[in-house]
Amino acid sequence: MATAKTETKKTGNTVEATGDVKFALPDAKRGLYAYVGVADYAVEQIRALPRYQGAVVEVLRSQVKDLQTQARELPQTLRTSLTGLSGKVNETYVDLSGRVTGTYTEFADRGEKLVSGIRKDPATTAAVDQAKTAKTQVKAARTSVKKAASEAETATEKAGDKIG
């Protein structure tokens, strides 16, 4: 559940507004999963385009002929359609609202499944392990360099004391 808090200040001709929005982490994840799901769906559709190229051309030709016929009949169709429009607008809104919610849920589920698969992928796991090992090695190297620099400083000071 999301909450929002806003504050406004008016100074002369200027209005300053600040806001703070808080939402549960699962809601944020759900939105990100939906985004990933949409991207995955788009890639799937783009990959399918070459397979359907010939069929698409035939369908388009057929649709152009249908559109020409419909254009001739348009004035009468509009008169008929406008009479029953008011009742259908409300039905359409309710239907679209449900479809949007369903589509969002499908994309979120699809994205969550894809992200989960990536996380469980052996290559991903190996990369994470290698990054952890590299981080540990860098920390150890940093400590060694600091220690060597400190020892060099001490040795230089002792040498200077012997000379001077």
The confidence band for 19, taking pLDDT boundaries of 50, 70 and 90, is low
Q: Which two tokens stand for residue 45?
A: 């559709």
> DSSP character for 22?
E
Over residues 63-108, the pLDDT tens digits come to: 777 777 767 776 676 666 666 666 677 778 888 888 888 898 899 9
- Please choose, from the candidates 155, 159, 157, 158, the residue with its C-alpha nearest in 3D space to the C-alpha of residue 147: 155
| Cα(164)–Cα(158) distance, integer angstroms | 10
The domain ranges of the chain are 26-117
pLDDT at 54: 67
pLDDT at 132: 92
User: End-to-end alpha-carbon separation of the chain, Å?
Assistant: 73
Is 0.85 topped by the overall pTM?
Answer: no
pLDDT at 133: 92
pLDDT at 137: 92
φ, ψ dihedrals at 26, nearest 5°: -60, -35
**CB neighbour burial string for 108-138, b if at least 16 within 10 angstroms, e if fewer:** bebbbeebeeeeeeeeeeeeeeeeeeeeeee
